[in-house]
Structure 1
Amino acid sequence: MSDARRSRLPWVLWVPAALALALVVLPVLGLVLRTDLTGLPALLTAPVARNALELSLLTATLSTLCCVLLGVPLAVVLARARFRGVRLVRSVVLLPLVLPPVVGGLALLYLLGRNGFLGYLLDVVAGVRVPFTTAAVVVAQTFVAMPFLVVSLEGALRGAGDRYERVAATLGARPWTVFRRVTVPLLLPALGSGTVLSFARALGEFGATITFAGSLEGVTRTLPLEVYAQAESDVDSAVALSLLLVVVAVLVVVVARPRVLDGGRGRGERAWG
C-alpha cells in the first residue's frame, strides 16, 4: 500500500476540522478587518501601549522563570514519588486550570492581602505588601500558568517511564546525579513546550491579575488590562492593542516552539504543531 493511500484521512473529519479552524481564525480575521490600518502605527507607539507591552513581557518572563524553578521539581515529585494522597495533590495543583481566573485572584488576595494570614505576617514582620504591585502581577501569572508546565512535564515523565533512572541507580548513581544526568535530559523536550505554553498563558492573563494586582498604569496594567481599559473609552486603540497582543502571542508560539530530535530514526520532529 502506498504512503499516500495510507495517509488518506476519512472525509468525515474534514467538516468538523474546518469548523474548528474557522472558530479560531475568523474572530482574529474580524479583528484585523476592524483595525484602522492608517492609524495603527500611532496607536501602537503611544506611551500607554509601549508601557503595557513592556510590562507584559517583563512580568510574563519573570512568571515563566518562576514556573520553571518551582514547576519542574513539582512535576518530578508528582511523577516519581510514591506517597499517600498523591492524587489529591495532583488535583489541587491542576485546580487553576479549571478555576475561573477571577476566583484565583480572590484566593491570592485573601492569602497575601492585608487581611490574609500570610499577607498580614509579611506586612507586620517585613513591611511588605504584595497586592497591587508588579510583584502581584508575577504571582498571579505564575498561579495560572504553572499548571501548564507541570502537566507537560509530568506527562512526559510518565510516558518515558523510570527504567533509565532505575538502571542508573543500580549502577551506583546518587539520587541527585540520577536527576541531573538522566531525568533532566528526559524532560528537555517537554520543558521547551511547557515553558512556551506557560509564557503564552502568562502573557494573556487577565482575571487573576486585575483582581489581585489591580489596573495601575505603569505598575500592574499589562497589555490585556490595557485593552480592557481602552475598550471603555477608545475602541480603535483597544482593537489595535488586541491585534498587537495576537501578533506577540503568535510570534512566541511560532518562534519558540521546540523541536525534538528523534534519535531512533535520526531526523527532527516537532514536539507539537
Structure 2
Amino acid sequence: MNAGITPLWISIKTSLLATFITFFLGIGTAYIVANYKGKWRGLIDSIFTLPLVLPPTVLGFFLLLICGKNGTVGKLFALMGKNIIFTWSATVIAATVVAFPMMYRSARSAFEQIDTNLIAAAKTLGLSNWKIFYKIAIPLAWPGIIGGVVLSFARSLGEFGATMMIAGNIPGKTQTMPLAIYFKVQAMDYKGAMGWVAIIVAISVAMILILNKWSDKQQEIVGKRG
C-alpha cells in the first residue's frame, strides 16, 4: 500500500473495528444498566461514562498502566508472548475506550424510552429475558443504537491523545490521521496537514449526513404509523 495513504487506512480499519467492538459492549452494558435499579446505578453509570469527560492524555495514562508490561492486561498478553504497547492493537484499544461512552449513552437512552408496559406484557406472555432483549428492546431502540454507531465511529476516527500515549506515532503501523496532522504541523508542513484535515472533515460531514438522513427516515416511519 502507498505509504502516503497509510494513515487513512489505519484510521479507517481502527475505527471500524473499534465501532464493531463498542456496538456489542455498548448495547449489552446499556441494557443492563437501563434495567438496573440498585443503589449503585449512578456510580456504575459514571464509570462507564468517564472516558467521555476525562482528558485523552489522562485516559491514555490509565491505559498505559493497565496494558503496560506491569499492568494486568499487559501481563496476560506477556504470558502469550505478546506485547500491546506501540502496536496497532493499542490504537484499537484506545479508540474503543474513547468511543464506548458514545455507544453506551445513546443505547441506554434509547432503552430507557421503551414503554415498560410492553416489557411487562412480554413477560406475562412467557417470553424469556433474552427474547425480550433481541425481539422487543433492540428493534424499539434501534434508532438510538444507529445514532450511537455513527457517533462511535466519528469519535474513534478523531482519537488522538490516548492513541499517542499507548500506541505512539509509528508510520505505517500506528500513525492515524490525527497523529499525521499533528506531526505535519510540527514539521511546518501545513499543506500536508490540510490534506488530512480535509479528509477527516469530509468523513465527519458524511457521518452527520447519514445520521440526519436516518433520523428523518425514522420520523417518517413513525409519522406513517401514527
Of 71, 74, 90, the residue aligned with 2:45 is 90
For residues 36-85 of structure 1, the C-alpha deviation after alignment (integer angstroms, 9 at most, x for no partner) is xxxxxxxxxx9444110011010000000010011100000110123341
Shift in Å, 1:177: 1.1
- The letter of the residue matching 1:109 is L
Bigger relative contact order (CA 8 A; separation at least 6) = 2
Aligned residue identity for 2:145 = L
> Structure 1 counterpart of 2:64, which letter?
L
The one of 130, 136, 142 equivalent to 1:182 is 136
Alignment gaps of 5+ in structure 1:
1-45, 269-273
How far apart are residue 161 of structure 1 and its match? 3.4
Contact 1:49 1:223 in 2 (8 A): no
Structure whose alpha-carbon radius of gyration is higher? 1
The sequence identity of aligned pairs, in percent, is 34
Secondary structure (helix, strand or coil) at the match of 1:217 reads coil
Instruction: Return the structure number with greater helix share.
Output: 2
Mean alpha-carbon deviation: is it higher for 64-73 or for 239-248?
239-248
After superposition, the C-alpha distances for 1:3-42 in whole angstroms (9 at most, x for unaligned) are: xxxxxxxxxxxxxxxxxxxxxxxxxxxxxxxxxxxxxxxx
- Equivalent in 138, 146, 149 of residue 92 of structure 2: 138
After superposition, the C-alpha distances for 1:73-121 in whole angstroms (9 at most, x for unaligned) are 0000110123341210000110011100111111011001112133123
Instruction: After TM superposition, give the deviation of residue 256 of structure 1 in Å.
Output: 5.0
When residues 236 and 86 of structure 1 are mapped into structure 2, their CA distance, relative to the original with a 3 A threshold, is: same
CA RMSD of aligned residues (A): 1.8
Q: Which amino acid aligns with 2:129?
A: P
Residue 245 of structure 1 and its aligned partner are, at CA, apart by 1.3
Contact 1:49–1:241 at 8 Å: present in 2 too? no
Aligned CA distance change for structure 1 residues 267 and 239 (closer, same or farther; 3 Å): farther
One-letter amino acid of the counterpart of residue 12, structure 2:
L
Count the aligned residue pairs: 222
Runs of 4+ in 1 over 3 A off after TM superposition: 46-49, 261-264
Aligned equivalent of 1:107:
62
Name which of 72, 76, 82 aligns with 1:121. 76
TM-score calculated relative to the size of structure 1: 0.77
